[in-house]
């Protein structure tokens, strides 16, 4: 048995609890499965969860029919897996609540559905077979709609076929999308949780600041948001300088108001402080120190693009 402490590189591969290796699809599947198995009635289709994660890996690796290998750096397979795990934990927190605040309740079938949507929420960034001349990041403005189309087709051949038409619940991961008031309350809640999982998983990542600097800046450049004098982020330093205000203003409103503060479910799951909120605050505090000292060399981590094998 290896009792040695994890290295910094190993810690960077783990989730905010430090327990789950986000670069192991099987480890992420095991953590999600444990949550679903703990719900009343258990996981409604364990085979589908395994298949969905296997197909997700194949898709990002370029081995799924009709799709090319992931070429986006920030929105990689690790982010997809972490969003699925974060969603599962939000669902576990919701399931542990009681009283009127918990209504409407999310049943186990919708829980599995929501986790698969969370895992696949960025699938629209993958180029299709005839799009080899494109950079996946250039699809950012339309990737949610592409994801809805993919998921409707994918889920139609599964035990969740009856819910396939509700793949539109990934649309609130688009920052400008407002959840329609006419959506049923259950679907509004599930969509809010998916979008919240997307944001929390990004900003709680141990390499979040370096990923913004090294990866997100490049993706923004593909859609005219970065890299030119007249763009919002003419250089990497400007992107980092604007991050605290972006979080405290736009993102905080998105999480607390637009999504009804479903992030609080994480506190219920962990029976106290959320490790995601703690990790986000650490990232923001460190960034504050970087900006105060103008010492960008303090961002020492070196994130990697993650496209693994299944084992």
Give the pLDDT score at 207: 95
CA-based nearest residue to 216, from 267, 59, 205: 205
Give the domain CATH number at 284.
1.10.1300
Total tally of structural domains belonging to the chain: 1
Residue 198 lies in a domain: yes
Residue 2 lies in a domain: no
Q: For the chain, 311 residues long, give each residue's pLDDT as a single digit of tens.
A: 444 667 777 778 899 999 999 999 999 999 999 999 999 899 999 999 999 999 999 999 999 999 999 999 999 999 999 999 999 999 999 999 877 877 899 999 999 999 999 999 999 999 999 999 999 999 999 999 999 999 999 999 999 999 999 999 999 999 999 999 999 999 999 999 999 999 999 999 999 999 999 999 999 999 999 999 999 999 999 999 999 999 999 999 999 999 999 999 999 999 999 999 999 999 999 999 999 999 999 999 988 776 655 54
Give the pLDDT score at 16: 96
Helix (H, G, I), strand (E, B) or coil at 132: coil
Judged on CB neighbours under 10 Å (0-12, 13-18, 19+), 206 is: buried
Give the pLDDT score at 304: 78
Residue 304 lies in a domain: no
Query: Alpha-carbon torsion 222, 144, 67, 69, what sign?
Result: positive
Q: Which residues pair with 128 in a beta bridge?
A: 67
Residue 311 lies in a domain: no
**Structural contact between residues 48 and 117, judged by C-beta atoms closer than 8 angstroms:** no
Residue 15 lies in a domain: no
Give the pLDDT score at 10: 74
Residue 258 contacts by C-beta under 8 Å, 6 or more apart in sequence? 172, 178, 179, 192
Give the pLDDT score at 117: 98
Write out the residue range of the structural domain in which residue 268 sits.
20-298
Give per-residue burial for 122-134: e unless 16+ CB within 10 Å, then b. bbbbbbeeeeeee
The residue count for the chain: 311
Reported pTM: 0.95
Give the pLDDT score at 1: 42
Give the pLDDT score at 63: 95
Give the pLDDT score at 309: 54
Residue 13 lies in a domain: no
Residue 254 lies in a domain: yes
Residue 150 lies in a domain: yes
Give the pLDDT score at 308: 56
């Amino acid at each position: 048995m290896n009792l040695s402490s994890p290295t910094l590189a190993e810690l960077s591969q783990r989730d905010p609890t430090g327990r789950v290796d986000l670069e192991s699809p099987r480890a992420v599947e095991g953590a999600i499965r444990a949550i679903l198995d703990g719900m009343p009635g258990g996981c409604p289709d364990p085979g589908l969860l395994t298949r969905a994660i296997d197909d997700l890996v194949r898709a990002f690796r370029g081995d799924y029919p009709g799709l090319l290998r992931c070429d986006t750096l920030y929105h990689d397979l690790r982010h997809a897996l972490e969003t699925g795990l974060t969603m599962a934990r939000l669902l576990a927190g919701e399931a542990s609540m009681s009283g009127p605040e918990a209504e409407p309740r999310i049943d186990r079938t919708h829980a599995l559905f929501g986790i698969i949507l969370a895992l696949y929420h960025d699938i629209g960034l993958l180029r299709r077979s005839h799009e080899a001349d494109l950079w996946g990041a250039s699809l950012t403005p339309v990737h949610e709609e592409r994801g809805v189309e993919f998921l409707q087709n994918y889920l139609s051949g599964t035990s969740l076929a009856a819910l396939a038409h509700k793949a539109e619940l990934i649309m609130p991961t688009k920052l400008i999308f407002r959840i329609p008031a006419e959506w049923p309350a259950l679907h509004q809640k599930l969509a809010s949780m998916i979008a919240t999982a997307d944001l929390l998983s990004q900003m709680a990542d141990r390499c979040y600041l370096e990923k913004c600097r090294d990866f997100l800046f490049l993706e923004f450049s593909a859609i005219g948001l970065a890299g030119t004098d007249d763009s919002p982020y003419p250089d990497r330093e400007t992107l980092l300088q604007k991050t605290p205000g972006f979080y405290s203003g736009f993102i905080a409103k998105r999480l607390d108001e637009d999504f009804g503060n479903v992030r609080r479910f994480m506190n219920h799951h962990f029976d106290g402080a959320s490790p995601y909120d703690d990790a986000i605050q650490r990232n923001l505090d460190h960034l504050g120190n970087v900006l105060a000292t103008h010492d960008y060399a303090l961002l020492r981590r070196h994130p990697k693009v993650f496209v693994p094998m299944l084992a």
